[in-house]
Structure 1
């Protein structure tokens, strides 16, 4: 059963040596992937540099971005970074990519918010069609081995990206029923396009060993969401304790997830050790077929995020029309 873990690079003030140790222990443990989320205007470590550090100290787990906001990066630098990462971890790189939902990141990077979707489309086309070369005067290195590409989101533009360039769909931080609906849309688009098999489907959500809602995990998530995030009525929130984490994994698997990625709310290594012990003791859970719900919950921008002491996310559903994404 594939269960990955996010490195604690998004915890403000985290010691980089602790992040590297998380990667080492995850590689020695029961996990399938180590992943890193992407933000610019926040006190987090850089995604690509963190993945490079993880690649250097691991041998088995996949190295995953979840998700990389490629439009924030100049395309030549992005190609060079991806090539470098594959040189460090050949055949172990998974690029989860998306446009994100925070305007502040684009303002800080000086990238037009309205161009984010078009930029991602251009970059994916370049990355997936880039030929190998031996000309040392060109931007390199060329990617070594296969690079898995997962597409974040299920808007029509995202589905078009999936069938044109992707190997699967990735979602982070949304409830299993919403994951199931977006995964079902991805599978349907895949089949309409005549692609063989099924796209790989990856889900994710936050976890905590603590069952106390009024704890540091809640306070950190409130800080992390201060500039936006999935609104409370779709948010997976924090699954808590052995029973809560086990149930969340079961629900994601039943909703069609081939892999479940768990996001920590602390950089404490004891939290990783706790999760590793829990995951090691889990029996394999069957993967269900994703399906559209008969009816979704009503839109509620003030809904409380599950597993927290009253954390709310405002305005996350606002933005320009989907065709600009």
Structure 2
């Protein structure tokens, strides 16, 4: 199972250069993937811009949006161009897109995008993204990765399963529990097989972490306000399942590897780049 690391973009970062330091350290320490999350109505950095900076600062580590709120990108042709440009900057095989329809209505209000029709907009965007990867499409540049960057999808709905089966290479489960992944995996594999896809869908999970003497405070400061939209109980739950000790990190890796995950991503909450080294040391990278 591959082990990736996520930038602490939802936490209280104050200097974008620290995120670039995270990218460099993540590659130096041997993590498989660097991921970045997405919110509009929050201080989270814009994901594709952030990954462009990371692409320039690194040369090998894979780059992932986990997850991009796809329907907010209302100009589908421009979005496709942005993706193929980023794929060129990163080089073949490095960029993967984790995509989801979006949950928070305030993101859509600020974007002046209709929240109620986001599913239809999402499907149109996927069609345009697929077209941009085909030879002769007027939107350029062409992607560096043949066929365009692989797509992973967040969510557990029937629409998500359909998108994975028709456009994707697998799924990404955020704030994952072992039980949630175990419950979803059979549905995913069944939809994949029913669509006549060969091989197996990729199964990626992400969990929250912070390490060191201030880990619990960092988790509370990052996750508490971020999850407050869903109520105090939801925020407390998000804080309670975050990993803050090395032994929890090791146990989490064993648990997700046991159920057949292909990759596990530890999402940062403390913006100090030292967190990359603490995680790498905990797992022996």
- TM-score, normalised to structure 1, is 0.80
Partner of 2:83: 82
In structure 2, list runs of 5 or more residues that go unmatched: none
CA drift of 1:246 comes to: 1.2
| CA distance in structure 2 between the aligned counterparts of 1:267 and 1:234, rounded to whole angstroms | 21
Higher relative contact order (CA 8 A, sep 6+): 2
1:221 aligns with 2:238: no
Q: Is the 8 A contact 2:203 2:263 kept in 1?
A: yes
Aligned match of 1:51: 51
Residue number in structure 1 paired with 2:260:
256
Which of 145, 149, 152 is 1:150 aligned to?
152
Q: Deviations over 1:160-192 (max 9, x none)?
A: 101000001111102111022122211111112
SS at match of 1:227: helix
Any conservation in 1 of the 2:77–2:128 contact (CA below 8 Å)?
no
Alpha-carbon deviations, 1:85-109, whole Å to 9, x = none? 1111122110000012111111111
Q: Secondary structure at the match of 1:76?
A: helix
Find the partner of 1:268 among 257, 266, 272: 272
2:198 maps to 196
What is the CA–CA distance in structure 2 between the aligned matches of 1:78 and 1:266, rounded to whole Å? 30
**Residue pairs, 1:169-248, within 5 angstroms:** 169-210=171-212, 215-228=217-230, 231=234, 237-248=241-252
Structure 1 stretch displaced more, 258-267 or 140-149? 140-149
Aligned pairs for 1:1-325 (under 5 A) are 1-73=1-73, 74-90=75-91, 91-133=93-135, 138-146=138-146, 147-210=149-212, 215-228=217-230, 231=234, 237-280=241-284
Task: Give 3-state SS (helix, strand or coil) of 1:150's partner.
Answer: strand
Whole-Å separation in 2 of the counterparts to 1:89 and 1:23: 13
Is the Cα–Cα contact under 8 Å of residues 210 and 216 in structure 2 kept in the other structure? no
Q: Say which is worse superposed, 199-208 or 185-194, in terms of deviation.
A: 185-194
Q: How far apart, CA to CA, are the structure 2 residues paired with 1:155 and 1:211?
A: 39
Q: How many pairs align?
A: 279
Q: Does the 8 Å contact 2:36/2:66 carry over to 1?
A: yes
- Pick the structure with more helix per residue: 2
Alpha-carbon shift at residue 232 of structure 1 (Å): 6.8
* Gaps in structure 1 of 5+ consecutive residues: 282-325
